[in-house]
Amino acid sequence: MIRTQISLSPEEYSAAKREARRLGLSLAELVRRSLRPALPVSSAKPWMRYSGMVESGDPNSSQNIDEVIYGQKD
């Protein structure tokens, strides 16, 4: 990871901290997840845009990834 610095108004910072807390994320992870949709997708790995963003609630979801992503397994 590369560490960077951004400037937020006090209101933006408070709102972002509340949202991160509500989602159970760090502020840094909330910012990363918020930034991803604005970035171009690598043509080599277009699926990486969604990496770490799927939360099924199923502890075995890694074993059933096709069902989680596509709703079926081929």
Where do the structural domains in the chain lie, given as residue ranges?
7-39, 41-74
Higher-pLDDT residue of 5 and 64 is 5
Please say whether the beta carbons of 8 and 16 come within 8 A. Answer: yes
pLDDT digits (tens, 9 = 90+) for 7-32: 999 999 999 999 999 999 999 999 99
Backbone φ and ψ of 41, nearest 5°: -85, 135
pLDDT digits (tens, 9 = 90+) for 50-72: 666 656 666 666 677 677 667 76
3-state SS class at 36: helix
